[in-house]
Amino acid sequence: MSTLWGGRMSEPPADELMEFTTSLGFDRELAQADIAGSRAHVRGLERAEIITRAEAQTLLQALDQVGAELESEAFAFTSTDEDIHTAVERRVTQLAGEVGEKLHTGRSRNDQVATDLRLFAKVELLEVAKAVIELQEVLLGRARDAGDAVFAGYTHLQRAQPVLLAHYLLAHGWAFARDVDRLLDARERLDVSPLGAGALGGTSLPLNPAFTASELGFAEPFQNSLDAVSDRDFAAECLFVLALLGVHLSRLGEEVVFYSSQEAGFVRLADAYSTGSSMLPHKKNPDIAELARAKSGRLIGNLTGLLAVLKGLPLAYNRDLQEDKEPMFDSFKQVRLGLAAMRGLVATMEFDYEKMAEAASDPTLVSVDLADFLVRKGVPFREAHRRIARLIARYLEAEISSRPAGQVSKDAPTLKDLVRDEPDLGEEAAKLCDIGTALVARQSPGGGGPEAVSKQLQQFTSQLRSDMARLQALSG
Ligand code: ARG
C-alpha cells in the first residue's frame, strides 16, 4: 500500500507523519458530499471527452458502491488512507480497475475538499434553520396559550415593569427569527462551487466549472481559482451564525435555570426533561438549560479557533485549512442537539401563572405609568420622575417600618392609598396601581401591553410562515 503521492518519495511516510496529518478520524462526515462531488467530476470528464461514456459508467458505478459501503459502515479503511478523499479514490480504483486511475484527472484535493465542505454546509444550514423554526413554533404556541398572563419583566435582574408573558416569550422568538435569516443568508453566500480550480491555478484540460457547479446544484462556479481553494470565509461565517444562535440559546437557558429555581418558581420542568442527583434523592435539575448556556462557550471557541487558523495564511491552499472541519462538524452537531433539547424543554415546562402574576403585582412596578400620568397633566418628566420616586420611597419606608419582624405588614398604607391622596394624582391614577389597568393602558406599538402583543402575535406568525415557505422552497 502506498499514498497517492508516494511516487515522488524515496521512502515510505513515517508513522508519526501519518498519525499527525491524517484527517480520516473526522472527515468521514464528508463521505456522501465527496461521492456527490466525484460523480459530478466524472460527468464533467465525460462531457469534456477526457474519458469515454463506458469509462464514466464504470466510475459512477464504483462510486455508488463506495457510497453504499460508507453508508452501511462496511467500508474498510487502510492505514495509508490519509483522508476521506484518498480512501474513496483508492476504493474506486480497486473496484473499477485501471479506469479508477482517471478519476482524479484535472482535480486536486484542494478544490475537492472545498467543494465537499460547502455541500455539507448547505445541507446542515437548512437542517439547523428547520430546527430553529420548530423551536419558534413552540414559543409561539406557548405565547398564544399564555393569553393575558402577566409577567414581571426584568432589567439588571430586578423586577422592572409588568409585561405579558407572551411578550417575553416572543422576544426570544424574534431573536431566533434573525438567526433563521442569517443561516439562510450565509447559505446563499456560500453557494459557489470551487470544483475545477485544481490545486490552485485551474487546469489545461477542457473542464468546465460551470457544468459541475450546476450538476452539484450550486448557484454558480468560482471566479478565481486561488480564492476558490483557499477561501474559508464561508466556514467562519457558519461558525459565527451558529455561535450567535448558541448565544441566544444560552440566554433562554439561563432564564429557564433561574425561573425554575425555588427562588423564582415561575416554571416547573417536566420530569422527562430534568435530571436528578446521584446523591440527593429530592433533586430535580435543569441540566438541558445549563448545557445550552455552556455550549455557547464552545461554539464561540470554534469560531475564534478557526479565525486564528485563517489569520495570516498565505494564498492559496495550506494544510492548515484542514483544521476547518472539526469546528464545523462540532458546531453544527451541538447546535442541532441543543435546539432539539431546548424545544422539548420549553414545550413541556409548566408555567405557574399565579406565581408570575404575584411577582408582577408589586405596585411599584407601575412607577413610570404614574409618572406618565403626571406628564399627561403637563408636569415635565424629570419632575414627575422625582415626585413618583419620593412617593415610592415614602411607601417603602412606611411599609418596612410597620412590618412585624419577618412578616408582611397589614396596616401600612398601600401605594394605592398614597397615590389617591397625592395632589395631581388621585383616584384615577390610583387605578394604575392595579397591574391589569396599567398594562391595558400601555398601548405603544411593540410594547408589552395586550393590544400591542396581540398585533405582535400576528406579525410573528406571518414571519414564521414566510420563513417556513423560504425553507420549503430551498429544500425542494
Ligand atoms: N484532508 C485535507 C484537508 O482537509 C485535504 C486536502 C489535502 N490537500 C493537500 N494539498 N494536502 O484539507
Name the residue among 468, 240, 252 with its Cα closest to residue 339: 252
Of 18, 21, 83, the residue with max ligand 1 atoms within 8 A of its CB, to mutate for a pocket test, comes to 83
Q: What is the DSSP letter of 159?
A: E
Q: Which domains does the chain have, with CATH numbers?
A: 6-102 (1.10.275.10), 113-198+216-359 (1.20.200.10), 363-441 (1.10.40.30)
Residue nearest to atom 12 of ligand 1 (CA): 322
User: Would the CB of 274 count as within 6 Å of ligand 1?
Assistant: no
Instruction: Write phi, then psi, for 351 (nearest 5 degrees).
Output: -90, 135
Give, as one character, the DSSP assignment of residue 334.
H
Which residues are registered as beta bridge partners of 164?
150
Per-residue model confidence (pLDDT) at position 280 = 86
- 23: annotated active-site residue: no
What would the grid cell of residue 240 be? 459565527
Q: 23: closest CA among 63, 81, 69, 100?
A: 81
Mean pLDDT, consecutive 10-residue segments, the chain of 476 residues? 81 93 97 98 98 98 98 94 97 97 98 98 98 98 97 95 97 98 98 98 98 98 98 98 98 98 97 92 94 98 98 98 98 98 98 96 92 96 96 90 66 90 93 88 92 97 98 93
Distance (Å, rounded) from C-alpha 140 to C-alpha 169? 8
CB atoms within 10 A of CB 107: 26
Other Cβ atoms within 10 Å of 129 Cβ, number: 26
pLDDT of residue 404: 65
Tell the burial category of 294 from Cβ atoms under 10 Å away from its Cβ (0-12, 13-18, 19+): middle
DSSP-based three-state secondary structure for 113: helix
Residue of 5, 110, 112, 200 best suited for mutating to test ligand 1, as the one with most atoms within 8 Å of CB: 110
Q: Given CA atoms 465, 466, 470, 473 in this order, what sign does their dihedral have?
A: positive
Question: What's at 31, amino acid-wise?
Answer: A
DSSP per-residue codes, 11-25? SPPPHHHHHHH--HH
- Write down the catalytic residue from 72, 156, 278, 282: 156
Taking alpha carbons only, the member of 321, 311, 307 closest to residue 21 is: 321
The whole-angstrom separation of Cα 94 and Cα 91 is 5
Sign of CA dihedral 347, 349, 350, 351: negative
CA distance 195 to 114: 8
Q: Is 115 in the pocket of ligand 1 (CB under 6 A)?
A: no
Q: Whose CA is nearest to atom 3 of ligand 1?
A: 322
Any catalytic annotation for residue 2?
A: no
The DSSP secondary structure of 115-126, one letter per residue, reads: HHHHHHHHHHHH
Q: Which three cell numbers stand for residue 142?
A: 406557548
Phi, psi (degrees; rounded to nearest 5) at 290: -65, -40
The phi and psi torsions of 164 (rounded to 5 degrees) equal -75, 145
- Specify whether the CB–CB gap between 100 and 66 falls below 8 A: no
